């Protein structure tokens, strides 16, 4: 659970704010019950229960959008009810809700909730003694909402930038190994429950070390970037391509049979052969592939494709091998040794 909270910052915020709010409201509910303020105690307890439900759901499922919207609704509605029943003593909670709504939901959704809560607050009877008090509350609520909205937009923008930096390869712009591992885990899970079949291909540039050694790393980087562009162009609607590292690329293809995977690998091999050029001329790739089977972990599936890639390299490069399918080299009859005639 701790690892999930560390990986998903939005989930961590929802859980932290939610549990803190539940604990705080529970303490106030007990205090007000001891003071005989049963209506206020009931409101505090009810809000705590309503907040605890979405928080527990988020903790169990890892989802944040639905629980975040429910928490915003509960916070805003509960705050309005508390102001109606308790009166001006609940006003500090309003400003806290106006700010925290932006942490548990999207900026635009939180803005709508805040506007509704502020309008409700201003029209509550007996909430403000003088018109200047109502005006002051409106101005403070507007400023809190404005500053929180701008801050939330900046945080959201920074988060997207960091996500791109953590998930995209700088040289090719393709998803990196981190994204590949997530995609393969999902593919294995779908295969296990029989929802979709996937094929895995690993492509490796042939004689890449010679390109680097003879023409420099700039030429090698150019070859990698061009190969990434070719593979991305050749991907179909539900196919994905990743930069695995070095001169290796991984493709997750939506195919049903090993034969379909072999046809796709040959199509990709030919596209690279016809389109990828370096300082010395044509650059080719070798490909190894495997269909998802009964593997429990994506690493096992990846190993099958990696072994097929090794066979493709041994077959002279510029070739493709699919695990479980014979290659032309395998199908050639072997010559038996001549019999020894005494």
CA distance 102 to 110: 5
Length of the chain: 342
Q: Are 306 and 317 in contact (CB under 8 A)?
A: no
Q: For tokens 């003088």, what's the residue?
A: 130
Reference 100, options 66, 64, 136, 75; nearest CA is: 75
Query: What is the end-to-end Cα distance of the chain in Å, rounded?
Result: 76
Does 247 participate in catalysis according to the annotation?
Answer: yes
CA distance 268 to 264: 6
Residues 291, 292, 295, 301, CA torsion sign: positive
Give the H/E segment covering residue 291.
Answer: strand 285-291
Q: Which of 181, 247, 248, 307 is catalytic?
A: 247
131-167 and 177-192 helices, crossing angle to 10°: 90
Q: Are 201 and 180 in contact (CB under 8 A)?
A: no
Give the H/E segment covering residue 244.
Answer: strand 240-245
Active site residues: 247
């Amino acid at each position: 659970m701790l690892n999930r909270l560390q990986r998903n910052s939005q989930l961590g915020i929802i859980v932290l704010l939610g549990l803190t709010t539940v604990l705080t409201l529970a303490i106030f509910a007990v205090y007000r019950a001891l003071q005989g303020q049963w209506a206020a105690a009931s409101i505090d307890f009810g809000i705590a229960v309503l907040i605890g439900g979405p928080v527990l759901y988020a903790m169990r499922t890892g989802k944040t959008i639905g629980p975040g919207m429910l928490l915003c609704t509960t916070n805003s509605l509960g705050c309005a009810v508390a102001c109606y029943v308790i009166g001006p003593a609940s006003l500090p909670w309003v400003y806290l809700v106006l700010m925290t709504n932006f942490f548990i939901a999207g900026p635009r959704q939180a803005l709508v909730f805040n506007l509704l809560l502020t309008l409700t607050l201003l029209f509550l009877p007996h909430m403000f003694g003088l018109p200047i008090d109502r005006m002051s509350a409106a101005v403070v609520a507007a400023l809190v909402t404005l500053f929180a909205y701008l801050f939330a937009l900046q945080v959201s923008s920074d988060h997207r930038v960091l996500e791109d930096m953590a998930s995209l390869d700088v040289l090719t712009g393709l998803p990196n190994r981190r994204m590949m591992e997530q995609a393969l885990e999902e593919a294995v899970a779908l295969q296990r429950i029989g929802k979709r079949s996937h094929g895995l291909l690993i492509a490796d540039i042939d004689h890449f070390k010679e390109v680097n050694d003879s023409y420099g790393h700039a030429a090698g980087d150019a070859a990698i970037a061009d190969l990434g562009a070719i593979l991305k162009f050749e991907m179909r609607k539900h196919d994905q391509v990743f930069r695995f590292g070095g001169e290796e690329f991984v493709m997750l293809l939506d195919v049903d049979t090993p034969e379909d995977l072999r046809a796709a690998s040959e199509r990709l091999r030919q596209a690279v052969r016809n389109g990828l050029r370096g300082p010395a001329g044509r650059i080719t790739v070798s490909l190894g592939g495997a269909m998802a089977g009964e593997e429990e972990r994506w690493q096992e599936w990846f190993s099958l494709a990696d072994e097929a890639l090794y066979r493709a390299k041994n077959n002279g490069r510029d070739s493709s091998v699919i695990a479980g399918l014979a290659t032309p080299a395998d199908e050639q009859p072997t010559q038996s040794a001549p019999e020894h005639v005494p």
